[in-house]
Structure 1
Amino acid sequence: MIYMKYLPYILNCGTRCYVRLDINPKLMNNEMAKIRISVPSLEGLNFADFGCFNVFVPTKEEQKVIVDFLERKISEIDGLIQKIESAIAKLREYRSSLITAAVTGKIDVRGAVKC
């Protein structure tokens, strides 16, 4: 049995992609078409291709542990990305303020050393 949050990780298609295995196979190609549009790594994949996968499937409990670990790490990485983006925005603001101060004469840059 596959834990549905585990499936995107074994298909390597990100955390927001869910494939329902309990739907009618005739409808599966429509579902795959929707996923194919939003997930580039599944481009060209159809229902028949699922029979070609050899996938190690741990127990459902192990899958949940793996998913919890990956989601926790992804959350940590997302937090770091936000901090970096915030630092970049502050540096850009500082740069802009520094340029404005230099242009308006609030600071003297005539003796500044070039790097």
Structure 2
Amino acid sequence: MKQITIALAAIMALAASPAQAFLSSQDETTLLATLNQENLTQGVHYNDIRCSVRNKKCLVKMEIKSEKAGCLIEHMNDVSDLYTESTTRDNQVRMVLSPYAEQALASCVAGLL
């Protein structure tokens, strides 16, 4: 419970900070769709992702078994620290979390389960 309280306090601080984002709303939508399509963890649904250049963090909001939660991915200098982008055969843009971001998010989610 203490970890969740600390995590929520950090999330609220990041969400309240007026800072320039380095992820466009279109990129957020595409990345969230990919996260939810490739999600192998039962009961986890990703709802929102916000990144701050000033704070060098990304906040990933989600629902875990119908409980709201969030995870911070820290030390993000630019989008390459968060994801890589490729084009599929049918010219669809596909975003994949970077190994660093994937590990940080998986570790956080595992701690919340």
**TM bracket, shorter-chain basis:** under 0.3
More strand by share: 2
More helix by share: 1
- Point out the structure with max Rg over C-alpha: 1
TM-score by length of 1: 0.24
